[in-house]
A and B are shown apart, each in its own frame.
Chain A
């Protein structure tokens, strides 16, 4: 099966700004390259082009267009990877609408797809961020706190996908999978 994104350019830009360049979603955890992410985020910030509701601002400068284009490539690549990880780990949550399902990849990445024959159409991909867990704690030098926060995000993704799919009919992913996924990464 192949994953496709058939959305318009405007929607792609919106996805990238809303999710990939959203600080709270911490996509650099998944790419493993904070410096690259931060450099592009700063370009977009300088161009006042980080607002997902004002996607036209991205098109005003070549540098911000490039930042978003490469962000989209990474965002889509992570969705492809997350889909495979979700399939392999059985983190697959069918929804009520026929063919629509959520996969949960490593690190709590949610990938929402619609099956079309042998292909899957990407509807959205994002990290479920529990806003109630975000607070002004700065764990400078405390890797264990960040690590636990990553576990919380992974648990949140699995839990929300499972609850959302509660009207579906397929299997619900196993327990403890979030922690096992995270441990397999480290």
Chain B
């Protein structure tokens, strides 16, 4: 959460607490705002934020915040609306629905009743995974939420934001049999798309300890060799091979001239066609398509 957004939530929590003191506020709104603020400040609230959070916790301790807890089906009703979304509904309407569920989770988590929205959050995450294209434009936003105001591990909203963040991963076209392992076992060539090399690396703002992604996409390996898909200086896809024995690369039965980059390290343009990589007795068959 940016500092400004954090201020908005903190100020709204102050307003909501004042309204409750005046006898007109909604206790669950306080739980929602306190839950959102708690996520944003983590363990470093400023004096004012700490004061409002303490007041909200006192209201929880006295049971006040439990007086207007939403019904158990509140989360399911949001999921129903999520399922009813259509292609032409705006991104902002989708974002609003997700924020509705997020706020419900934040409020219930603050009062220790996160189990009441866990099922709905799982269902919502399932909807996002089932129709990632509908939600993909919101993936960057989800990443920012996970980085700046992460729901706690026990907060079901985490499942929703993670599914939303993951919606940016492209669906790779697969052909039957879909599984690469199955193709290998059946002796069928692996099908590789040249366009894989042009995919932008995903942005995962909340993930800080992932290893640096490799510069090439591993395609296969065997005794004494490794094969990967990388790119040439001009951005065109290239096959990169490392080996401990002499390598022969055949395309449609004809030998391909390899560019020797270093001892045991060769490169060739990845042009569409059927290939065989021969290293000693090992043969690795694959097909490159556009």
Chain A positions within 8 Å of B, measured between CB atoms, are 11, 14, 53, 95-96, 102, 110, 112, 123-124, 126, 128-133, 135, 144-145, 147-149, 151-152, 155-156, 158-160, 162-164, 166-167, 171-173, 175-176, 178-179
B68 CB contacts on chain A under 8 angstroms: 135
Known: A147-B24, A160-B96. A176 touches B90 (CB 8 A): no
Are B8 and A130 in contact, CB atoms less than 8 angstroms apart?
no
- B165 CB, min distance to chain A CBs, angstroms: 13
How far, in whole Å, are A133 and B211 apart by their CA atoms in the complex?
43
Interface contacts beyond A158-B12, A164-B141, A175-B7: sample of 15 additional A-B pairs, CB < 8 Å, sorted by A = A14-B88, A110-B92, A123-B90, A124-B89, A126-B96, A131-B70, A131-B100, A133-B28, A133-B70, A159-B36, A164-B92, A166-B2, A166-B144, A167-B141, A175-B8
* A-B contacts, 20 listed (Cβ < 8 Å): A11-B88, A123-B90, A129-B100, A132-B104, A132-B107, A152-B29, A155-B16, A156-B103, A159-B8, A160-B99, A162-B5, A163-B5, A164-B95, A166-B144, A166-B145, A172-B2, A172-B8, A173-B8, A175-B7, A175-B8
Q: Which of B15, B25, B92 contacts A102, CB < 8 Å?
A: B92
How far, in whole Å, are A2 and B148 apart by their CA atoms in the complex?
36
A124 CB contacts on chain B under 8 angstroms: 89-90, 92-93
Are B5 and A172 in contact, CB atoms less than 8 angstroms apart?
yes
Binds A, one of B52-60, B71-79, B222-230, B248-256: B71-79
A53 CB contacts on chain B under 8 angstroms: 84, 86
Q: Which of A126, A130, A173 contacts B103, CB < 8 Å?
A: A130
How far, in whole Å, are A109 and B194 apart by their CA atoms in the complex?
47
How far, in whole Å, are A126 and B15 apart by their CA atoms in the complex?
24
Are A96 and B140 in contact, CB atoms less than 8 angstroms apart?
yes
A164 CB contacts on chain B under 8 angstroms: 92, 95-96, 99, 141
B145 CB contacts on chain A under 8 angstroms: 163, 166
| B7 closest partner in A (C-beta) | A175
The number of chain B residues with a CB under 8 A from chain A is 45
**Which B residues between 116 and 169 are near A, CB-CB below 8 angstroms?**
140-141, 144-145, 148
B190 CB contacts on chain A under 8 angstroms: none
B93 CB contacts on chain A under 8 angstroms: 124, 126
Are A155 and B15 in contact, CB atoms less than 8 angstroms apart?
yes
| B141 closest partner in A (C-beta) | A167
How far, in whole Å, are A162 and B6 apart by their CA atoms in the complex?
9
A178 CB contacts on chain B under 8 angstroms: 12, 15
| A112 closest partner in B (C-beta) | B92
| B100 closest partner in A (C-beta) | A131
**Which B residues between 1 and 51 are near A, CB-CB below 8 angstroms?**
1-2, 4-5, 7-12, 15-16, 19, 24-26, 28-29, 32, 36
Are A176 and B92 in contact, CB atoms less than 8 angstroms apart?
no
Q: Nearest 9 A-B pairs (CB), nearest first?
A: A175-B11, A172-B4, A124-B90, A148-B24, A132-B70, A112-B92, A132-B104, A162-B8, A162-B5
| B93 closest partner in A (C-beta) | A124
| A111 closest partner in B (C-beta) | B92
A133 CB contacts on chain B under 8 angstroms: 26, 28-29, 70
